[in-house]
Every structure is written in C-alpha cells, then in structure tokens.
Structure 1
C-alpha cells in the first residue's frame, strides 16, 4: 500500500491550548516530599530518600501523552485498499490512565471501529492513539470522546464507534470500595450515530468469541 495521503488537521488538539508554566524537577521532587509528610511519614528515612526522584520519573511516563499530538499519530492514511469499505474493528486494546479527580489509576480495554472513506491507518496507530489520550489526567467519558473525535477529524470516515470498559481505583480502593465494578462508555459518530443497526453490529462483533 504505497499510496499515502496526509490528512489535513482540523480541530483535533493536543488538549493544552496554551503553554503551561511547568515547575522544575527539583520543585516537583519537593512537592512529593511534602505529600509524604502529609501522608504521615518521614521523607528523610532511608526507604523514602529516593522516592521523590522515582515519582517524578514515573510521572514523565504516566503522563507522556501531553507531549504527543494525535494528528502526528494518524498523519498517514493508506488509500490503496483494493476497494475495501467495510468496518475496521480493533478490540481489546489495553490501557492504563489516571483519574483527574483523585490521580489514581483506572484501566481496562478500548474497542475502536470505523468505516473508511478515504483510506485506512495502520492498525498499530489505533493502539498508539489510545496511548496518547490515556497517558494524561483523564475522565473515561472525555477519553472516549477524544479518541472518536481524533479519528473523525484525521480520517474523515463514514462512521466511528468507540467503547471503553474500565475499572476505576477511585471507586475500588477508596470511597465505596466496590472492586470489580466496570464503567462502560461509548461514542458513536457518522453512520454509527445515524443508524442504530450499525451500533448493534459493532456491539455484536465485539462480543463474538467471548464467553
């Protein structure tokens, strides 16, 4: 598939529309020390001496999505697909994110389907798109909409369907403490939004082969 079309960017953004005055690494490490004291422990004891450095390093990995632009992930569309115009579905894409309300993890699976119009993207790009948005402070509802909108903007498909199933640690390990409860969110655009039968097809394909 050598026919590559660059998709023009529309209004898909990298979420941060204005520059942030980011603290230094030293300031971030001192903030971690403050939180350790707030939790009731001594940041100067042996086991915690390097914790601020480890936490700031982990934050760079957890929230790497802020430096990524979804348009860069979806910038190559392969138009030469031998006339294929049926649904493309990738299910069970695992993700780990952090709730923006309590900064504790939520995790689960993302399922993505779309009807190509101008072409398709590499399947790994869909998983990469999920990572862009998962590695930010998030809500599940926002993340679902962001993934769908990015696909709609960059691929201009005939329809987009996104479903996320996730367990939230802010519900499992704190608050009501109901471990195992799953939250399900969906976002339908184009053909999937206009035709309930397409939604049924998407959901049916997701469940095929599952107990």
Structure 2
C-alpha cells in the first residue's frame, strides 16, 4: 500500500459522486470515499507485488507427472470499466528434474496477478509464464473461467455468462493428449 495515494482516491470518488448528481454530504455517503480508497488499495495490492517472488522456495521431489490445483477462486477488476470479474482458475504443470513448488504458491501467484487492473487473458498468460520461468517445468496449462460484471451490469447485460481462457506452455502446447488429460481432471467434481 506504500505507493497508493488514499487521499487522491478519496477526492476522485467525491468527484465521481458529485458528477453523477449525488450529495456527498448525505449521511450514507459521508465515509464512502474513505471506504472506497481503502478497498482500492486492497484490490490493487498486486501492483506492489512480483508474482515470481512466490517461487523463491522450491522443493525437490521425485515426481515428474501432473500437478493440478483446480477451482482456485479469484477476483479482479476489469481495466476497461473498473468493475469486478471473478471466477476460478485451474493451474497444472509437469515438474522437471523434481522441482516442485508448494501448492499454495500457485494460488498466491494467481492472486498477485489478479489484484490489479487486469484482463482475463493477461491473468491466464502471466500465471503460466511466471510458472514456466520460475520452475522450468516440462509444461504448464492454465485455464481461467470468469464472470465479468461489465457484461452483467451494463452493455450486453447477460448475468451468468462465463468467459474461459486457456494458455498452454511447453509440452502442453504440442501434446493434445496431455491437455485433454488436464481438461478431464478439471471437469471432474
């Protein structure tokens, strides 16, 4: 939060409320600018982080088969409209030379990338690229499913519509059988 100017956010929120015709001195809105500034600092905390930092500690295990953490909930903010989108991510990789990360590190990487003004496509590729860079696995496959409030609340107005993005790196780029294996596990309940 060190680089976040809370006062500037508060002033901007007041200006937005005034611009839409609200009375910023109304009881229900008195503390809204302060609450929004704190919320934005939290929601955009990923701007102060490097997702690679979560992979500074790795373990060596005699395992060079699929590792999949699925149904990882996340939320982010659409950089085009500054409204939320949220969903689940599924992160798979095949370790090489026994180099594995703690399972929670995959979720922490996702959260770090998602907590900034973002695009779903960028989240998907950044998570995959970070894991490829830091673990040097045989391959990484990341699937992200999300509902975007910019499609639910405005514009198209289609609640429940999900956007799915997928990124394959390494062995998953060429091997459809391996990709299908991960997709089968993702769909299992």
Q: Which residue of 1 aligns with 2:152?
A: 172
Q: Which residue of 2 aligns with 1:200?
A: 180
Instruction: Name the counterpart of 1:11.
Output: none
Q: Which protein is richer in helix relative to its size? A: 2
Tell me which residue corresponds to 1:162. Answer: 142
* Cα displacement string for residues 70-116 of structure 1 (whole angstroms, at most 9, x for unaligned residues): 1211111101x1x2110100000000111000000100000000000
Alignment of 1:68 onto 2:24: no
Name the CA distance, whole Å, in 2 between partners of 1:38 and 1:163: 39
Return the alpha-carbon distance in structure 2 between the equivalents of residues 54 and 158 of structure 1: 45
Q: Which residue in 2 is equivalent to 1:113? A: 92
Question: Kindly tell me: are residues 154 and 47 of structure 1, through their superposed partners in 2, closer, same or farther at Cα, counting changes over 3 Å?
Answer: same
Count matched residues. Answer: 186
Q: 1 CA distance for matches of 2:29 and 2:102? A: 44
Could you say what the CA RMSD is over the residues aligned between the two structures, in angstroms? 1.1
User: TM-score, normalised to structure 1's length?
Assistant: 0.86
Runs of 4+ in 1 over 4 A off after TM superposition: none
Match of 1:129 among 95, 109, 124: 109
Q: Partners in 2 of 1:51 and 1:155 — Cα distance?
A: 43
Shift of 1:23: 7.1
Matched ranges for 1:27-176 at <5 A: 27-79=8-60, 81=61, 83-118=62-97, 119-176=99-156
What's the secondary structure of 1:42's corresponding residue? coil
Structure 1 counterpart SS, 2:100:
coil
Query: TM-score if structure 2 supplies the norm length?
Result: 0.95
**Matching residue of 1:7:** none
Matches for 1:10-21 after TM superposition, within 5 Å: none
Q: List gaps (5 residues or longer) in structure 1.
A: 1-21
Q: Could you say if the C-alpha distance between residues 122 and 23 of structure 1 is closer, same or farther in structure 2, counting changes exceeding 3 Å?
A: closer
